[in-house]
Amino acid sequence: MKYAAPTLFMCILTLVAGMLPFSKANAEDLADWKLPPVPVPADNPQSKAKSTLGHQLAFDIRLSKNNSISCAGCHLPFAGGGGHTPRSFGQGGELGRWAPSWVNAAYYTSLFWDGRAASLEEQTGALPGHMGPISAPGEMGGDVTAIVKKLNAIPAYKKGFHKAFGEDATRQNIAKAIAAYERTLIARHSPFQRYVDGDKKALSPAAKRGFNLFRDKAQCAACHTPPLLTDNAFHNIGVPQVGPLKEDTGRYAVTHDEDDKGAFKTPTLYNSASFLFSMHDGAFSTMEQVIDHYNKGGDPKNAHQDDLIEPLHLTKKEKSDLIAFMKSLTDPKLNRIHRPRHMP
Ligand code: HEC
Ligand code: HEC
């Protein structure tokens, strides 16, 4: 009894002292999650004319062999540019990998699941000496020199390239226009980004609890780090290998480092709750499956699995809170990427 008053006093003091820095820390904490401006290479500044042209090119089957398939033929416009089959189908039949989303791809420091391309420009496959969808025999299978000729023979494209670059279509300009378009696909209007910007009502209580789980008990933020939700690194998280490939060594094919066996690039997660599939081989089709995979500690039998993947012991309610947070990362605008109104 004798100590009650001072104890109570101490309690209040601790509480007040503890709360002040907490609310400040919390605000700073949120700022850490704000998506930064998109990095733009010095030799390819953004312009409306360029991204409009890139949008048209991404939806044009004339960029492929026999006018058969466009970029958007594999990267589904209504699911943030993610593939509509677990593995993509190109000129060479079924590929070994799922077509990843275009949403926030502009932030990656390397492209493809194994990071073998250094920029969005290089990724397209239009640049000399770089294999990518336009030129890859198994994808669009095009002869890029012939495509350049074809585009310059279409008056509206010729005009579009002159407006964007002041010159005819070239291999470089095709790559630059498509990359400039991809740099416009940023999930700034997702409820989570609105919340980070100060709209406290943008997240439901469940999504807020999910956000805490994401960075605390569920350990997602260890790899899906703020602000991009990717560490731009490669990890083996024990995803089951499905599809035509018996084995996909992932990053190992690029580095030949044993530690990279079965490691894939950490994706940015924005819009992922609306993808029809996920993971390098499209192994999962619902967020529930993804969370269950992490919850059971991935695949403990996988000798190369990252040490950060271990059983999480999430309750049913925690799983559904985490899913509510994952849904708050979806920018509805980017699930409605339309075909350009005017095609050349
Ligand atoms: C035949 C289907 C298909 C077509 C057509 C296609 N892609 Fe892809 N795309 C894929 C697949 C599959 C991957 C993953 C391949 C890998 O990681 O090895 C991919 C990867 C990408 C990536 C990397 C994203 C990341 O997370 O690293 C981008 C960007 C991309 N494609 C853009 C394009 C563009 C632009 C075009 C048109 C020039 C295009 N794609 C055409 C199937 C396709
Ligand atoms: C050890 C690093 C690591 C941790 C921890 C981690 N992830 Fe991942 N995440 C990855 C990598 C790497 C991939 C891609 C793996 C693959 O394709 O084989 C991935 C893929 C995903 C995907 C699929 C997205 C897409 O575009 O295909 C989702 C969703 C996801 N993670 C959510 C989570 C959640 C939720 C947590 C916490 C429970 C979490 N991750 C924890 C590294 C991690």
The answer on pLDDT for 7 being more than 60 is: no
C-beta of 281 in contact with ligand 1 (< 6 A): no
Alpha carbon distance 256, 220 (integer Å): 27
Buried b (16+ CB within 10 A) or exposed e, 29-39: eeeebebeeee
Both tokens of 152, joined, read 């310059």
Cβ–Cβ under 8 Å, residues 251 and 234: yes
Q: Which ligand is nearest to the CA of 310?
A: 2
CATH number for region 191-333:
1.10.760.10
Q: Which of the ligands is closest to the CA of residue 220? A: 2
CA atoms within 13 A on the CB side of 180: 24
Note the pLDDT tens digit of each residue in 282-305: 999 999 999 999 999 999 999 999
Nearest CA to ligand 1 atom 5: 71
CA 47 to CA 54: how far, in whole Å? 11
Distance of CA 264 from the midpoint of ligand 1 (Å): 15
pLDDT higher at 136 or 3:
136
Question: Is the CB of residue 61 less than 8 Å from the CB of residue 70?
Answer: yes
Per-residue pLDDT averaged across 14-22, rounded? 45
Which is nearest to 208 in space by CA: 24, 49, 26? 26
Name the closest ligand to CA 175. Answer: 1
48-186 CATH fold: Cytochrome Bc1 Complex; Chain D, domain 2 (1.10.760)
Residue type, 106: A
- Token digits for 167? 């010159």
Residue 228 CB less than 6 A away from ligand 2: no
Q: Which residue has the tokens 């350009």?
A: 340
pTM: 0.93
100 alpha carbon to ligand 1 midpoint, in Å? 7
**pLDDT above 60 (res 237):** yes
User: What letter represents residue 240's amino acid?
Assistant: P
**Is the CB of residue 320 less than 8 Å from the CB of residue 206?**
yes
What is the token pair recorded at 143?
């002869």
Q: Is pLDDT of 17 > 60? A: no
Task: Compute the average pLDDT of residues 68-81.
Answer: 87
Residue nearest to atom 41 of ligand 1 (CA): 71
CB of 219 within 8 A of CB of 312? yes
The answer to whether 312 and 116 have CB atoms below 8 angstroms apart is no
Whole-angstrom Cα distance, residue 239 to residue 266?
13
Higher pLDDT, 178 or 5: 178
- CA 187 – CA 34 distance, rounded (Å): 11
Instruction: Decide if 48-186 and 191-333 have a common fold.
Output: yes
Among the ranges given (11-15, 24-28, 79-83, 337-341), the one the predictor scored with the smallest mean pLDDT: 11-15
Centroid of chain to Cα 155: 35
Nearest CA to ligand 1 atom 12: 99
Q: Are the beta carbons of 76 and 83 closer than 8 angstroms?
A: yes
Contact of 333 with 189, CB cutoff 8 Å: yes
Q: Where are the domains of the chain?
A: 48-186, 191-333
pLDDT at 150 over 90: yes
Task: Tell how far CA 238 is from the center of its chain.
Answer: 19
Mean pLDDT for the chain overall: 92
Averaged pLDDT for residues 103-113: 97
